[in-house]
Amino acid sequence: MFLQDSQMYILINAEMYNMNLNKIAFMLSLMVEGDATSWKQQLIEETLDRALLAGTDPDFRTFGNFISSLKEAFEPYDSEGDALEEMKHCETRRVGKNNPKHRNEIILTKKVVFWKGGKLPPFCIGRNSTD
């Protein structure tokens, strides 16, 4: 949502945000809480250090590079793979025996998900399952 909203604002105000640095500075100015603040501080420090070592003005590179770095830093690494990995360590048990559709309850670390339908994933079968 942050990316979409800020990019739309930049697009609407294209005359004001007509250079990479203006766009990047605007987006950085909105990062005032939590992990975003830490990421912003690290980016600024690295950019200033690189400029100091090279004896040049700070260069945040292109807006496209900035957006790519931002996405990489804040998007889950592999959310589907992580979810499947968690499911490999699940505990299963039958619930709702009076229910004709019988649900299997799959317990993931602090989360409960109901697996609807007949078969459980093969990696869950036989792991602490009870009928």
Give pLDDT, residue 95. 52
Query: Domain of 7?
Result: 2-75
Q: Are residues 9 and 68 in the same domain?
A: yes
Same domain, 56 and 98: no
Q: Are 120 and 104 in contact (CB under 8 A)?
A: yes
Same domain, yes or no: 28 and 66: yes
CA distance 125 to 131: 12
Residues 6 and 29 in one domain: yes
With 0.85 as the threshold, say if the pTM is over it. no
Distance CA 31, CA 40 (A): 7
Tokens at residue 75, please? 């998007």
pLDDT computed for residue 1 by the predictor? 86
If asked whether residues 62 and 117 sit together in one domain, one would say: no
Mean pLDDT for back-to-back runs of 10 residues, the chain (131 residues): 94 96 96 94 95 94 94 75 66 52 48 46 49 43
Do 90 and 127 form a contact (C-beta atoms < 8 A)?
Answer: yes
- Helix H or strand E encompassing 85: helix 79-87
Q: What is the pLDDT of residue 82?
A: 66
Q: Hey, which residues does 108 pair with through a beta bridge?
A: 111
Tell me, what amino acid is at 107? I
Residues in the chain: 131
